[in-house]
Amino acid sequence: AEGAGKFGVSLDGPRISALIKYKDMLLEWNEKINLTAITEERDFIIRHFIDSLSIAPYLENAGSIIDVGTGAGFPGIPLKIARPAPEVVLLDSLEKRVAFLNCAIEALKLTGVSAVHLRVEDAGRSSQYREKFDAAVARAVASLPVLLEYCLPLVRTGGVFIAMKGSAAEEIEYSRKALETLGGKIENIHEIILPGSDIKRNIIIVKKLRQISTKYPRKAGKPTKEPLI
C-alpha cells in the first residue's frame, strides 16, 4: 500500500487481499507452467505489483487499455484491481498463460477484463482490435522499435503507448525511424526508482499522432527479424 501510494494509487483492504490472492494463485500455477522467476514475497510485490502500478498516473484518462505480451498478467491485472474502471484486454501468444489468466479473472471476480490468445501482429491487423484502445502498455516484451510496431496500430489516434523499460537511452536513439513511420512521438520519459528498492525503471510515454498505414504491423515474426531502425 505504501509503495502504490508513491504513484497516487490507494489500495484498501479488499484490493490488497485481491492482490495477495492473485500472487498465491500465480505461484501455485508457477509449479506447473513458467510464469515468473521471482518467488520471494517482498521481491514479488515490488517487482511485479508496485512496478505494474507505477504507470497508473499516466492512464487516468484511458477508458480502454490493451496489455501486450501480458504474460502472467503484468501490468494489466494489478492495474485492474487497483482501478477497476477501464476496460482491459490482456493479450498473450501462449495458450497456457491465457488459461491461467482466465482462471485468475474468474477467481478474483474481475469484470471488464478479458484474456486473449493471439499474436500481437495478428491483433494489430484485426478489425476487432486495430485502433480500438485509448492506451497500449507493454512491460519487458521487446526492444522499443519492435514494441512501437506492435503497439501503435492498436491505439486510436490521440491515444498513448506506454513502454515499461529498465535502461532506455540506447533504444530511444534507435527508435527514430519507427516513430516517424508509425506516427508516434515520445512525449515524456519518466525515470523512477521502485519504492522499497534501488531498481531503476524508465516509463516511456508515446503519443499516437496519426493513423498508420495498413502495412503495419507486418506479418508475424517480421517486426523482430527486421525492426524499423
- Rounded CA-CA distance 52/62 in Å is 16
What percent of the chain is predicted at pLDDT more than 70? Answer: 100
Mean pLDDT to the nearest integer, 43-72: 97
Mean pLDDT to the nearest integer, 156-182: 92
pLDDT of 105: 98
Helix (H) or strand (E) holding 150: helix 144-151
Tell me the pLDDT band of 59, cut-offs 50, 70 and 90.
very high
Peptide bond into 78 cis (omega under 30): no
pLDDT tens, 61-71? 999 999 999 99
- Rounded CA-CA distance 164/189 in Å is 10
Burial of 102 (0-12, 13-18, 19+ CB in 10 A): middle
- Rounded CA-CA distance 16/53 in Å is 13
CA distances from 103 to 72, 73, 161 (A): 11, 11, 27
Residue 166 has pLDDT above 90, yes or no: no
Please report how many Cα atoms fall inside a 13 Å half-sphere around the Cα of residue 124, on the Cβ side: 29
Cell 516513430, residue?
179
Q: In this structure, what DSSP letter does residue 183 have?
A: T
- Rounded CA-CA distance 131/111 in Å is 22
Residue 102 C-alpha cell reads as 482466465
A 10 A CB-CB count for 53 gives 24
Helix (H) or strand (E) holding 159: strand 155-165
Asked if 204 contacts 167 with a C-beta cutoff of 8 angstroms, the reply is no
The dihedral over CA atoms of 209, 210, 214, 219, expressed in degrees to the nearest 10, equals 0
Tell me the pLDDT band of 140, cut-offs 50, 70 and 90.
confident
